[in-house]
Chain A
Amino acid sequence: MSASPAAAFFDEMNVPDGGVRAGYEAIAEWLKQAPRELLVNRKLEAEHFFRRIGITFNVYGDNQGTERLIPFDIVPRVLTAVEWQKLVRGLEQRVKGLNAFIADSYGEREIVAAGIVPEELILQNPAFQPEMTGFTPPGGIHVHIAGIDVVRVDADTFYVLEDNARTPSGVSYMLENREAMMRLMPELFGSLRVAPVDNYPDALLETLRSVAPRSASRDPTVVLLTPGPFNSAYYEHSFLADKMGVEIVEGRDLFVRDNIVYMRTTEGPRRVDVIYRRIDDDFIDPIAFNPGSMLGVPGLMSAYKAGNVTISNAIGTGVGDDKAIYSYMPEIIEFYLGEKPLLSNVPTHRCREPEALRYVLSRLHELVVKEVNGSGGYGMLVGPHATKAERDAFATKLKAHPDDFIAQPTLALSTVPCFVDSGLAPRHVDLRPYVLCGADGVRCVPGGLTRVALKEGSLVVNSSQGGGTKDTWVVEI
């Protein structure tokens, strides 16, 4: 299939009859009168800014491209304050539901008893950590930081595309994109009331401190645990640690004695209360999990379970955010919160159900099929864009392991104008807002990371697949 004409998609700035939507007036006006050279210059300036501050990511499996810049588009993406408020209520509800489900998965499993979620989806989930069974983390919260990917299909409808409840990344781009835009487009910030996002690190620190273990002092010590400078998100790790004013530690900086976690400092050992870890579960403790891990801290899991340290997000949260559980999220929210979900799921076919599998196989050319445990846009089939041979090969995989896949209709993702080589042109976007969940409440800064598929007609926004980013403005009108 060829890409549909852009007019078939909901454009967030331009209305088909030629006007612009609420919130975009000043931006459209500015773009109209800005000469092309100005836009080219601003784009170069932005690139220069990002290279200078060193905000880069490493592409795995690419020896050439270590430390690449993610392409940045200078046209902002706008949400009105009203749209945002509505979205936030849905996001908060979603994360509450997610937390309740994960707690239940490692607790009584009432949702299984109620016949809503099949038990094997929990127990056989590779992200399920038996170590966590019966353990309640400090504050009873498992997911402190969630990134919920949403897409828009029309003026009123946002779909949740994916929940990220492990170690969601990208928030540094939200913050640095804003920083860049404030330098590049001061005139627009002068005429629009854009809600600030720069308090995110403070909100994150408050959240982390609120879930410190009871044995911690009144002034708990928070650290950020990174796999190290070679990790693709290292810039973000150091950026966040810096903005929060906490130490960024590697596994070798920490040790456990008598179930207490310490860091090696110039003044001798110092106790650590909360670990904001950006390391996957399997690598966090070579004794409890992957014995080959050089990144983790031996004995950390045992200190955690003794209640002497908080790990954030908790171990084993992946049980709640894979694509198989995703399809149950509406039921999950209703079950635990007794409320109707405010944000819709994308209609999802669970290939593990024979009838759904038959349907999916017959409609491969119009569906998107995703691996239940995949991420980053790898291992998925975009039916309408695949060749017959690709679809046939995928069908074989699908029949062999139906449990590993879900399928969704190809969404008509909204577009936002981008400044590309040919000038301003619509490109598809998604949005990842960050939801913080502490013992003292839920926080969500107004904005998020807008990812954009820069290739014409493409629906894949992942940076590893040629996606870029935009600044996201929540605007009072």
Chain B
Amino acid sequence: MLSRMADNLYWLSRYTERAENLARILHVAQRLAALPSAYAGASNEWESAIATAACAEAFKEIYPDGATRENVIRYIVDSPVNPSSIKACIETARSNARAVRTAITSEMWEILNEGWNEMRGIEFDGISQSALTQFLQRVQQMSLRFDGAAYRTMLRSDQYWFQRLGTFIERADNMARLLDVKYHVLLPEKEPVGGGLDYFQWSSILRSVNALTSYHWVYRENVKPWLVADFLILRPEQPRSLISCYLELNDYLDQIAEAYGRQGPAQHIARSTTARLQNANMDQIFQSGLHEFLVEFIEENNRLGGAITQQYLS
């Protein structure tokens, strides 16, 4: 297929996935910020939302006085100066989709186009709490439907594989960032078991990736920090865990390599990162530093993104 098309597909999936993750981050921040401080702790949820959304520096330039509910929501949802706002993600995804109409199915296009049309009808200035919550839900639904439409309607060929690569590179990146921002909450030393304060922080991490219920099914235990980290990094049963993302990435890269009859750096990087995740255990990770582990992972993931671009998309 055309390199430009593959590039568009890859990025439109990344932007759709990113929009969903941003919506989830805001959704959870709203929840946490609504708790009495005895439960949620004194930490500024809005600071951490900005950090997770990977736009802290740019944000500080505009709002040097720090993060508040209003300015964070504004910035992440529809700020014209934020190229990765939810609005910008949906705009970009939709215009990429428009440019590759032939490479996606009509269902996928209609979902994005509908989401975009709906978003255009919203006045974000002075948006009410309930309208905002509804919007964030719609964004998550749009991404879920888009994902489902891709899964159920796309031909299993390189178009599908590149679409998938975008989804999982972005998902892995977002998950690692989310964990990195919260890593101090997960550090085991500080943990007074069953303490109300951290409990809500830990469960908020799970909630922001829609994994709270499944956590209980897998561990049949109270929410514990090392188990949360284990679940979201190393457990292949959890579809958003780093290892899950990499098993998928490996699989799609292998299919591409097989179809094209050759491998390249992208396949090698994906394989070595997967192997590292498969051989890791949580004790080691905590000993050598969760933060360091995550920072390294994010770098490796970026390297894989670069290799995919170099090898196929340009």
- Please give the residue numbers on chain A whose beta carbons come within 8 Å of chain B beta carbons, in ascending order: 51-54, 228-229, 234-235, 238-239, 241-242, 247-250, 252-253, 263-267
Contact = CB atoms under 8 A, between A and B. Distances in A.
A457 to B, nearest CB: 34
Given A266-B162, A267-B260, A51 B2 contact: no
B98 A265 contact: no
A4 to B, nearest CB: 41
Contacts of A248: 101-102
Interface of B: 1-6, 95, 98-99, 101-102, 106, 109-110, 113-114, 117, 158, 162, 256, 260, 312-313
Contacts of B6: 266
A266 B313 contact: yes
Given A54-B109, A253-B2, A253-B4, A229 B102 contact: no
A247 B256 CA distance: 19
Contact of B98 (A51, A54, A266): A54
Contact of B260 (A51, A54, A252, A266): A266
A57 to B, nearest CB: 13
B101 A238 contact: yes
Nearest to A241: B102
Contacts of A52: 110, 113-114
B111 to A, nearest CB: 10
B2 A265 contact: yes
Contacts of A229: 95, 98-99
A227 to B, nearest CB: 12
Contacts of B114: 52
B101 A247 contact: no
Given A229-B99, A266-B162, A53 B2 contact: no
A30 B83 CA distance: 52
B4 A264 contact: yes
B1 A247 contact: yes
Given A52-B110, A238-B101, A238-B102, A265 B117 contact: no
Contacts of B4: 250, 252-253, 264
A253 B313 CA distance: 11
A90 B6 CA distance: 45
A266 B312 contact: yes
A242 B101 contact: yes
Given A52-B114, A266-B260, 6 more contacts: A228-B99, A229-B98, A229-B99, A234-B98, A235-B101, A253-B3
Nearest to B6: A266
Contacts of B117: 51
B169 to A, nearest CB: 16
A226 to B, nearest CB: 10
B158 A266 contact: yes
B41 to A, nearest CB: 46
